[in-house]
Structure 1
Amino acid sequence: MISLMKKELKRFKRILSPDYPACSEIEQDDDKGQDIIREGILKITLHILREMSQTDLANTLQTKCAPACQQKLKSKLKEKFQRINEGISNQMSSPLLNEIYTELYITEGGIGEVNNEHEVRQIETASRRPETRETPIKCNDIFKALPGQNKPIRTVLTKGVAGIGKTVSVHKFILDWAEGNTNQDVHYIFPLPFRELNVMKEKNISLMDLLHLFFKDAKELRPTDHEDYKILFIFDGMDECRLSLDFPKNPNLFGVTEPASVDVLLTNLIKGNLLPSALLWITSRPAAASQIPPECVDQVTEVRGFNDPQKDEYFRKRISDQSLANRIISHMKSSRSLYIMCHIPVFCWISATVLQRMLSEAESAEIPKTLTQMFTHFLIYQTKLKSLKYDGKCEVDPQLTQNNIMSLGKLAYEQLEKGNLIFYEDDLRECGIDVREASVYSGICTQIFREEFELYLGKVYSFVHLSMQEFLAALFKLISFIGNKEHNSKITEFLKSEVNQAIQSESGHLDLFLRFLLGLSSVSSKALLRGLLAQTDSMSSSQEEIVEYIKMKIRENSSPDKSINLFHCLNELNDHSLVQEVQTYLSKTGASRLSGARLSPSQWSALVFVLLNSDEELDEFNLSKYDQSEECLLRLLPVVETSRKADLSDCGLTEKSCLALASALSTSLRELNLSNNNLEDSGPKHLSTGLKNPQCKLETLKLSGCLIREEGCAALASALRLNPSYLRELDLNWNKPGDTGVKLLSVVLKDPHCKLEKLQ
């Protein structure tokens, strides 16, 4: 007890300075015991009360608890993060983050299963889901407990697809802290990006030495200071991590001065062995988030980018002419695919750059309505911008420009094949890009390419977004094929081959690449690129033939997701015939009723595409509006997955439908009505698989009159025990659960974690 009190008095001595009379007296004789210690505490307390008001005391403690090294750290972080990086440009000409920052839509998000589909497809899927009851989380509040959370939050994992705003959120959080605006209870913030930590992969180093290495101004910090100060570590970009992060096998480590490999330091920090009182914030793309064991994470958040009001707010902040901003917003809303992409902040910036110029200068060119057109105009604009800046004219040399574009395209394509989003100087040299001229003379590097300076990596390069890398990779692949005179007559066969490869890709990683490739092969793109690339005149393909080939693939393909992407490809080729065909049919039949209709597979796919891309809110799906059949449900399952409520009652469904619906339970569904279908016990067994998924947030499940017996009730009870948090209403009327089924469900009701309020 005495040693503990002495420790606290020494802490007071550090805080209040050694000028107070009691402080020097305390350490003179360790044998004087508790009396001297009590007397010392009393003298300090009385002196403080006499000399200082409560406000003065608070200010003094804050100042003393924040030594000079903290102020230096804040100053350095403010200097680093006050401007937003939108490509290679003069740092002082970059916009101030606080001037254009628009709050992102961040929500709570469970870890769940890894989603390997293309990230743009993930955004498109999420954009179609109706608003749920999720509570938005402000960037600066991510360490605050949500309603219903009782435990303190130490470690936050933030997920989000590439370019959605994770890093900008981190920078805003740090900047607000450095400027003294928020989270001032935190004494030190140490941002340690994974790409920087990768360089330390082979080193053995202690945590304290690692901090001193990265933060020179923190050398005044001592190993015991973490007991006095609140520290936050930010590990940005776990998807870029090249460390093993082997949580089960890495040895335990408890001392901050004990050397170990960097991956051992990280796993022990995350597990809480090292600095258990420190806060941790980790960001990652979804595919890499599963590297961290769920038990090591107190809260998972997900950055969803901009919601619809935030998109509009961004354009109004970015463009000072509000009349022009409104015209841009109206145009973006007129194209569903473009407006969906505006969930990604980087795409908003690209669109603002293109449309601000085109609409204000009253150009004769057609305003872009597809992704390919938007990216092509951005490429042309950046090239002309360089030419105007350095040559004093808007004309460009097609051959010189093509060499530059092909060099960047080669880099984009080769690194895309390797799965790399970050490149180094050697990667650029291998593709014929002059590193010394990359930021100024390469024509399109200025804003399409991003250059960052990292402490131990030197210059690090990336494209402003994955989609820009895919666009340039597609352009490189197309121009390379055209440049090969031996293959030029077979361009249509080349495009068909690329369609087949994308369809066969299970992960969908070629989906957007294919959209760009086909869009660039169109007649409209040929005209746009003519002044930019020397070889576009050789682009001769039968657009009608490739359109018919895609339609054939839609008819053959049973996967709704693949069909949806093929419809996007038709959109890039400016063909809407299938969609118009179904829309005409629906307008004639009225009220979307398809009962008894004999739709072809391609028409079913078109119907899904039409419903998913409709401006109408998909809040409730009622199968009886379309066709009361199992085939109709299976065809329209993607629509069910984007709805909040699904009424599938009395539609002749069987266990086959339940098998398909199991995956849908971990999407937007909150209410599911399957009453009066012959599901029997097999149906609930399949549904229970979906109910057990941590991502499932179903609140109401109606299974009245479904011929369910004891086995079906047992499966439901098992699912509720494993995932008891959300289901509030379960309707089992007009079934035959028997005594055993009733007993099993009764046990679940007694579980204190069970939220079930209504069991019939």
Structure 2
Amino acid sequence: MKKELKSSTRLLSQDYPEFSKIKEEEVDDEEQSRVRQGLLKTLQVLRNRNHTDITNTLQTKHTPFCLVQHKSTVKENFHIINDGISNQGNSIPLHEIYTELYITVGGRGEINNQHEVKQIEATSWTPVTHETAIKCNDIFKASPGQDKPIRTVLTKGVAGIGKTVSVQKFILDWAEEKDNQDVHAIFPLPFRELNLMNKKNISLMKLLQYFFMDTKELRATDFDDLKVLIIFDGLDECRLPLDFQNNDSLFDETELASVDVLLTNLIKGNLLPSALLWITSRPAAASQISPECVDLVTEVRGFNDPQKDEYFSKRIGDQILANRIITHIKSSRSLHIMCHIPVFCSIAASVLEKMLSENERAEIPKTLTQMFAHFLIYQTKQKTQKYDGKYEVDLQQAKRTIFSLGKLAYEQLEKGNLIFYEEDLKQFGIDVREASVYSGVCTQIFREDLGLYLGKVYSFVHLSVQEFIAALFKFISDKETKRSMTDLLKREVDKALQSENGHWDLYLRFLLGLSLESNQTLLQDILTQTESRSDSKQEIVEYIKMKIKDNPSPEKSINLFHCLNELDDNSLVLEVQKFLSRMDVIHFPRIRLSPAQWSALVFVLLNSEVELDEFQLSKYRPSEEGLLMLLPVIKVSRKSDLQSCNLTKKSCSTLASVLSSNSSSLRELNLNNNNLQDSGLKLLSEGLKNPQCKLQTLKLYNCRVGEEGCVALVSALRSNPSHLRELDLSWNKPRDSGGKLLSDLLKDPHCKLEKLLLCNCSIGEDVCTALASSLRSNPSNLRELNLSYNKPGYSAVELLSYLLKDPHCKLEKLQLCNCSIGEEGCAALAEALRSNPSHLRELNLNYNKPGVSGVKLLSGLLKDPQCKLEKLL
């Protein structure tokens, strides 16, 4: 190795003189670590000069042989993707089917207990224009202007959204030497397999060697010279305590400890501090990792609409058939929303490809229950090989398997478990090996993962599949007890409504869908007898409508409308759609809607084909009642126009909760001309200071806010200053105390305000002077300043003139209407603009007293060819 390094360095030095810095003594030193240090210096210089190809070549040439072998093994393990049980499912090369996923940057590792289908629905309603997208291969690459290197990335995403596939793509591209070649080794450690080692005491080095046999010759000191990435996939599947608070600190990679202690110290950076870490998790489990341990949070959002089309085109192959499938998916809002999830796309593709290509007479699925029922049927009827070598369908065995899996699904759903081990299966009398011999159910519905390294792990292919099988089990088992189906459905409706986080919502949709005679006929081979009467269906429909009229939370009402959709009843929705078609914007607010109709309106708005970019409350009901009823729409819209809607303190408390929500899309909030007063703005400020708040525009024109409210507002903005770009406080009374705090805010280097409107705010000379002084110390962000109808005085105008002279000042619009500015002040402004004329586009000096000399100076300024003023008032 020394000889090769020496020759490589000399060769490189011929073209790049800076390599002479690497001394011969370093190359000839007998210590292996010094040899590596010389190589690392060489590589670093290459990287600094962006010589990527030669860097990768040199690095590959001098990588320890065991890591070359390790890369080859990793490539072998990750180049295919499996559908279903590892040894029976369809093995497909990843590159053949992989479709780029939509991944966003930002957020924190916060907890989100909302049902994951609701999170997907919220995603489908959210405009994406304000999000920063990133490709999975780029998550460890520093973005422009980023100072701190990225060590730990936390990637969130709901079940089945593509987190593991993203990890697999990253690893495979590295193993095939397509990307991230500055990394010497990648060690994927899925939590589901680490769970099996929870009783072991082992060192970190032994743990890595246990999973990666090729790396046995590596020593702990080798990691000082190597760039390695350790991937912990599936934090939500972790059954280790991850006790960051109480676990002992550990700094020696060769010291024995529990796997839990090893992981917490690795994540904290006590062990292998130079190693990169990538952790994936469902949102509800993300908070297990402390934010200070995470440098970057990303979120896998699944497929956006173009990616859905691309997936079906790749998966189906036949473009005409793929287009028919895409058209059908788009015709059903609930199916189209679910297709954000790649696993659901796979389910839909397998069902629709078969139905459309074989021209079956059965109705093409339009609801989730229909889709999952067809999926189950196809898997049940799959011919499987029996012990005697014959292929046939054993429906009795399939029914027994489905019932056992359904019991497992239901009881584990109550516990929140998505993965199972052999001991879990034994409790329910499930022998997967025997079941898979007799039925196709276990090859696609329930999967066995042999794991990369250790024992077997089992799971349903997606949470929604588990919920469907659980609903089927509940339906079958309750029928066997001979109890009234209507009573069961009412109980389950109540159970879902009582769930704080909606964890039984999708299950309820499936259960209600299964109560329809058409779906029971579809599943007649599995359901020994059916029970469905038109009066019982109508009874549960009326019961759900009654619950909607009882006015539960808007989110729960939305799910009840989805339930009505599964029951093939859209009477309330049609009612509201007729209102919308008959009423124009002027007349609609005069219509008195019932609570049920309000809920239907929310459902219609959220499920319309029009993207919810801007929502205007005044179109529907300019009142606090309207705000509360339409809150889900406000929450997912990017811009909410609530001006002149008779809102008060009560509305501010509600809006603060929206601003504090990690799922809120709100970026622009217009509250102009509402009677909020100080008490209301204090409540709103609680939301503004929340780290989750990403509001960029806040309009509070004429909201009857005084000093106390402005003090609370500015204090909140000082604690969370980096997002707000526009603030309008015109026609309020911040007075001196509020104005001075605004001045302090503008000094903050994290403040990114570009537009500050303070027209008629009773601001005097002291405050205006302080504002001008603050802008001089931090001049580069503000583009528009309105101080009209205030009393800035000459000293403030003089300071503003100095500001305009500053080459860093980017002010484009300055409004000083009716500010008692005289000749001297106008002369100072004109002189400033003459010395730095390139930025200001609009200057408003109406209703001042520039005098003859001031007018001449300003007129002369307009003749200057460098002056870019477009409007002088």
Partner of 2:17: none
- CA 1:491 to 1:393, structure 2 compared with 1: closer, same or farther past 3 Å? farther
> Which whole-Å CA distance do the structure 1 matches of 2:397 and 2:533 have between them?
19
The yes-or-no answer on 1:676 pairing with 2:700 is no
Alpha-carbon shift at residue 23 of structure 1 (Å): 8.0
- CA 1:207 to 1:630, structure 2 compared with 1: closer, same or farther past 3 Å? same
The yes-or-no answer on 1:295 pairing with 2:292 is yes
Partner of 1:498: 492
* Structure 1 contact 140–183 (Cα < 8 Å) conserved: yes
* Structure 2 contact 112–283 (Cα < 8 Å) conserved: yes
The yes-or-no answer on 1:560 pairing with 2:557 is no
Q: How does 1:244-259 map to 2 (within 5 A)?
A: 244-259=241-256
> Which whole-Å CA distance do the structure 2 matches of 1:354 and 1:422 have between them?
25
Q: Which runs of 5+ in 1 are unaligned?
A: 1-7, 29-36, 46-53
* Structure 1 contact 130–617 (Cα < 8 Å) conserved: yes
> Which whole-Å CA distance do the structure 2 matches of 1:448 and 1:14 have between them?
58
Alpha-carbon shift at residue 428 of structure 1 (Å): 2.3
Name the count of aligned residue pairs.
728
TM-score calculated relative to the size of structure 1: 0.91
SS of the aligned residue for 2:472 comes to helix
Alpha-carbon shift at residue 397 of structure 1 (Å): 5.8
Partner of 1:636: 630
| Higher alpha-carbon deviation: 388-397 or 493-502 | 388-397
- CA 1:350 to 1:416, structure 2 compared with 1: closer, same or farther past 3 Å? same
* Structure 1 contact 65–229 (Cα < 8 Å) conserved: no
Pick the aligned partner of 1:701 from 681, 698, 702.
Answer: 698
Alpha-carbon shift at residue 70 of structure 1 (Å): 1.3
Q: Which runs of 5+ in 2 are unaligned?
A: 11-22, 43-50, 758-873
Pick the aligned partner of 1:111 from 108, 111, 115.
Answer: 108
* Structure 1 contact 592–626 (Cα < 8 Å) conserved: no
* Structure 1 contact 595–626 (Cα < 8 Å) conserved: yes
| Higher alpha-carbon deviation: 531-540 or 140-149 | 531-540
Partner of 1:358: 355
Partner of 1:312: 309
SS of the aligned residue for 2:590 comes to coil
Partner of 1:209: 206
* Structure 1 contact 670–700 (Cα < 8 Å) conserved: yes
Alpha-carbon shift at residue 248 of structure 1 (Å): 2.7
* Structure 2 contact 102–303 (Cα < 8 Å) conserved: yes
SS of the aligned residue for 1:439 comes to helix
SS of the aligned residue for 1:84 comes to strand
Aligned residue identity for 2:191:
F
Alpha-carbon shift at residue 272 of structure 1 (Å): 1.5
SS of the aligned residue for 2:153 comes to strand
* Structure 1 contact 586–592 (Cα < 8 Å) conserved: no
SS of the aligned residue for 1:403 comes to helix
* Structure 2 contact 379–439 (Cα < 8 Å) conserved: no
Q: How does 1:144-163 map to 2 (within 5 A)?
A: 144-163=141-160
The yes-or-no answer on 1:69 pairing with 2:66 is yes
* Structure 1 contact 710–737 (Cα < 8 Å) conserved: yes
User: Deviations 1:249-290 (Å, cap 9, x if unpaired)?
Assistant: 222222211222222222222122222211000000111111
Alpha-carbon shift at residue 535 of structure 1 (Å): 2.9
> Which whole-Å CA distance do the structure 2 matches of 1:291 and 1:218 have between them?
30
Partner of 1:600: 594
> Which whole-Å CA distance do the structure 2 matches of 1:620 and 1:25 have between them?
68
Aligned residue identity for 2:250:
L
Partner of 2:846: none
- CA 1:312 to 1:399, structure 2 compared with 1: closer, same or farther past 3 Å? same
Aligned residue identity for 2:616:
N
The yes-or-no answer on 1:278 pairing with 2:296 is no
Alpha-carbon shift at residue 183 of structure 1 (Å): 0.5
Alpha-carbon shift at residue 155 of structure 1 (Å): 0.6
* Structure 1 contact 306–343 (Cα < 8 Å) conserved: yes
Partner of 1:235: 232
Aligned residue identity for 2:623:
S
Partner of 1:261: 258
- CA 1:55 to 1:108, structure 2 compared with 1: closer, same or farther past 3 Å? closer
| Higher alpha-carbon deviation: 748-757 or 573-582 | 748-757
> Which whole-Å CA distance do the structure 1 matches of 2:406 and 2:9 have between them?
61
* Structure 2 contact 104–300 (Cα < 8 Å) conserved: yes
Aligned residue identity for 2:510:
F
| Higher alpha-carbon deviation: 658-667 or 534-543 | 534-543
The yes-or-no answer on 1:658 pairing with 2:652 is yes
Q: How does 1:83-102 map to 2 (within 5 A)?
A: 83-88=80-85, 90=87, 93-102=90-99
User: Deviations 1:461-480 (Å, cap 9, x if unpaired)?
Assistant: 11100100110000000000
Alpha-carbon shift at residue 211 of structure 1 (Å): 0.9
User: Deviations 1:193-230 (Å, cap 9, x if unpaired)?
Assistant: 11222222232222111111111110111111112110
Partner of 1:327: 324
> Which whole-Å CA distance do the structure 2 matches of 1:585 and 1:24 have between them?
83
* Structure 2 contact 401–435 (Cα < 8 Å) conserved: no
Partner of 2:417: 420
**What is the percentage of aligned positions where both structures have the same residue?**
71
Alpha-carbon shift at residue 26 of structure 1 (Å): 4.7
User: Deviations 1:532-577 (Å, cap 9, x if unpaired)?
Assistant: 3323368897101000000000010330000000000000000000
> Which whole-Å CA distance do the structure 2 matches of 1:164 and 1:288 have between them?
15
Pick the aligned partner of 1:373 from 370, 389, 402.
Answer: 370
- CA 1:397 to 1:678, structure 2 compared with 1: closer, same or farther past 3 Å? same
More relative contact order, 1 or 2 (CA 8 Å, 6+ apart)? 1
Partner of 2:798: none
The yes-or-no answer on 1:532 pairing with 2:526 is yes
| Higher alpha-carbon deviation: 509-518 or 417-426 | 417-426
Partner of 2:541: 547
> Which whole-Å CA distance do the structure 2 matches of 1:383 and 1:592 have between them?
56
* Structure 1 contact 399–534 (Cα < 8 Å) conserved: no
Aligned residue identity for 1:117:
Q
